[in-house]
Amino acid sequence: MNPTAEYDTFASIYEIWTATAPAAARNLPFYVEVCRETPGLVVELGVGDGRIAVEVAKVGKSITGVDASAEMLHRCRARAQAAGVLDRLTLIHADFRDFVLPQPAELITIPYHTIGHLVTMDDKRAGLRHIYSQLAPGGRLIFDHFVFDPDAAARHSGVILRAEYTDSETGQDVLLWTTTRYDLEAQTMRIIAWTDEIDGVGVVVRRQYHRLNFSWLEPEQARALLEEAGFEIEALYGDFDRSPFCDDSPEQIWVARRPR
């Protein structure tokens, strides 16, 4: 399945997915700040439902969002409209490997582990080369990536009840379940999530599956890919408080610059 179709199906659970993901809460202030402090064109790749971009617009900074999913972009537009900041948002419906900006960017971000949706090394190479081409000389690319943890992977291989909630659109009680299948050698994973809609006597009236293909990078692989694409590495943080990366860091947060 391509990323467009995957996220068109995932969109209906994306808000509850991020609300129940600790990394999402922690990455938000970091990205709002790096966008706010950067003059010139700022771009978020994989803008999704605007979870971050709308907060950036709310602090007064205009932002361009790129996404391959029409359904996620629709939700992003609605969120910006509701927040009264639609005029600070430009949305581009495109893939990371072929988006075209109206002018070179000063900052391109790829928040929330999203580079992992470029599943193969060749996808990642093509993505990074293209991102480089859309940056101004001296412009920065900032992305985060989780650090693969075999113990966490073993836990996520089981079935987990991720959330129990009432759907705000349908008023229906919902159970959100997940499991993940890993291919350790290929460094890929398939996230399978399903929602059970439950009626007043506990009967499942509807089940829907939502599936995503994902991958991960070891820090030395990320460094090699960035350097191969022509980037200079400015910093590698180990968490969103900008602490330096170390062996037990939960995240790898790369700040890379297109040379002047």
Residues near ligand SAM (CB under 6 A) are 3, 7, 18, 44, 46-48, 51-52, 67-69, 72, 95-96, 111-112, 114, 117-118
* 189 contact partners, CB below 8 Å, separation of at least 6: 153, 180, 181, 182, 183, 213, 214, 215, 216
Helix-helix angle 3-19:70-83, to 10 degrees: 40
Q: Residue 104 is encoded by which pair of tokens?
A: 């070179």
Task: Read off the tokens for 255.
Answer: 């700040």
Query: 172 or 188, CB closer to ligand SAM?
Result: 188
Nearer to ligand SAM, 5 or 205 (CB): 5
Q: How far is the CB of 224 from ligand SAM (least distance, A)?
A: 21
CB of 111 to ligand SAM, least distance (A): 4
Give least dist CB 130 to ligand SAM, A: 10
Q: How far is the CB of 72 from ligand SAM (least distance, A)?
A: 4
Distance, CA of 156 to CA of 226 (rounded, Å): 29
Q: Which tokens is 3 given?
A: 């990323």
**What minimum distance in Å lies between the beta carbon of 95 and ligand SAM?**
4
Q: Which is nearer to ligand SAM, 3 or 139 (CB)?
A: 3
Nearer to ligand SAM, 145 or 257 (CB): 145
R_g (Cα) of the chain, nearest Å: 18
Nearer to ligand SAM among residue 36 and residue 197 (C-beta): 36
Q: Which is nearer to ligand SAM, 67 or 251 (CB)?
A: 67
Cα separation of 52 and 50, whole Å?
5
Q: Give min distance, CB of 51 to ligand SAM, in A.
A: 4
Per-position b or e across 15-42, b if 16+ CB within 10 A of its CB: bbbbeeeebbeebbebbbebbeebeebb
Minimum Å gap between C-beta 240 and ligand SAM is 12
Please give the DSSP secondary-structure letter assigned to residue 244.
B
The Cα 238–Cα 256 span in angstroms is 15
Name which of 188, 180, 253, 255 is nearest 215 in CA terms.
188
Instruction: Using the minimum distance from each CB to ligand SAM, give the nearer residue, 15 or 232.
Output: 15
Tokens in use for 119? 């599943």
Beta bridge partners of 64: 43, 90
